[in-house]
Structure 1
Amino acid sequence: MRSPIRVLLRAVAVLGMAAGLALPAAAAQAHDVLETTNPADGSTVTAVPHSVVLTYDHTPIAIGTEIQVKDASGTNQADGAATVVDNNVTQAIKPGAPAGKYTVVWRVVSSDSHPIEGTFTFTAKAAGGGTSSTEATNGNNATAPATPSSAATPSSAAASDSSGGFPVWTIPVGVVVVLVIAALAWFVRRSLARAAQE
């Protein structure tokens, strides 16, 4: 005759193994996070900088990374391709880019191989060729955190999840956990029924 306690202990062991397999997979799916930008999001600088720099918490993948620096008219003033060095992504700006408000639209491939995207803005008082972007009018050279607008799936930018919302990767993980719990419940019920019959 099987002991109900032994059956329960076996069930707990199975659940622990399932959780141990699911949690590392979930952690591996965490997207990189944009920590700071230079110029800072929403800041005003004395002139259009030579480049914009985005700093992430991990090193993004260079392939597929794209940054557009759009002026007030919507013209992309980015000069060449973005470069990735450690966790910094740098996008050069065309010399002589006009003064005004700029919107930086970025899309990089996270270190977990998933594309993420977002935007931030800054305003330049003078055209390019002037002083460095770090000379902001508020006198503070430090960059401020910039919040990514969304994290996108590889197939479509429209199917993006907000950085503060519900991560897409939790759906398959949740399905696996539910299936494991259902299988565990069936196993325990069947084992207890057999134990009672014996």
Structure 2
Amino acid sequence: MNVIKRRAATRMARSLVALTATGAALAVSAPQAAAHTELDTSSPGAQATLSGLPPNATLTFSDSMTQKYAKVAVTGPDGKSTAAGDPQVDGKTVTLPLETGSPAGRYTVGYRVVSADGHPVSGSYTFTVKAAGGPSPSPRADQSAAAPPSPAARAAQADGAGAESSGTDISALVGGGALVLTLAAVGVYVVRRRRAGHGS
């Protein structure tokens, strides 16, 4: 009787151990089954501000992607697609070529991909391309180089220079004549003084 009870207890203990092991295995595998593929990194990044549209938009996910179901779109501020080709999958990375000549403004990146194990992932984000600096303003008239004088202006300048030269010559002649007269007057005065001295 005791042998039968011991065998029953042993069987029950073995069943409990098996159930416990199965429960532990399920507990470990459950988080992995519930895990979803996510977007890890992107270039351009969300809310980034760039000086120009890059040649590619690159999205990197936490799992490998399937080429057949990789859908990526980049829409410009005018609502038009800026894609220059189809998205290409390389493992966990999806790359979309872009038209670099697209206008400045806010861009939207939208994606819907399926990982190799069948998990779909979708989402969107935005980034901004700022306008390039405009052309430098042309110099104002007062800041530009002086224009060459017209023929009439050159003639007027020549006449003014000639008049000034003539005035200078006349002034020199008048001054020279006054000096000669002054010297003559002094000479006459000296001669008279000498004669007056001898006469006395």
In the superposition, the TM-score normalised over structure 1's length comes to 0.55
AA matched with 1:45: L
Shift of 1:102: 0.6
1:44-82 residue CA offsets vs partner (Å, 9 max, x unmatched): 000111111111233211111000101223322222210
Q: Which has the larger radius of gyration?
A: 2
Q: After superposition, where does 1:2-151 map in structure 2 within 5 Å?
A: 3=8, 7-20=12-25, 23-24=28-29, 27-28=32-33, 30-126=35-131
Q: Please say if residues 106 and 117 of structure 1, whose CA atoms lie closer than 8 Å, have aligned partners that are also in contact.
A: yes
Give the gaps of 5 or more residues in structure 2.
Answer: 133-200
Q: In 2, are the aligned partners of 1:105 and 1:119 still within 8 Å (CA)?
A: yes
Among all aligned residue pairs of Structure 1 and Structure 2, give the percentage whose two residues are the same amino acid: 36
Secondary structure in structure 1 of the residue aligned to 2:12: helix
Q: Which has the higher helix share?
A: 2
TM-score (norm 2): 0.55
Q: Contact 1:48/1:125 (CA < 8 Å) preserved in 2?
A: no
* Cα shift readout 1:76-116 (whole Å, capped 9, x = no counterpart): 22222101123221111124222110110011111321211
Q: Which amino acid aligns with 2:122?
A: E
Helix, strand or coil at the partner of 1:63 = helix
Dislocated runs of 4+, deviation >4 Å: 2-6
Spell out, residue by residue over 1:34-53, the C-alpha distance to the aligned partner (whole angstroms, 9 max, x if none). Answer: 11111111110001111111
Aligned-pair RMSD on alpha carbons? 2.5
Higher strand content, 1 or 2: 1
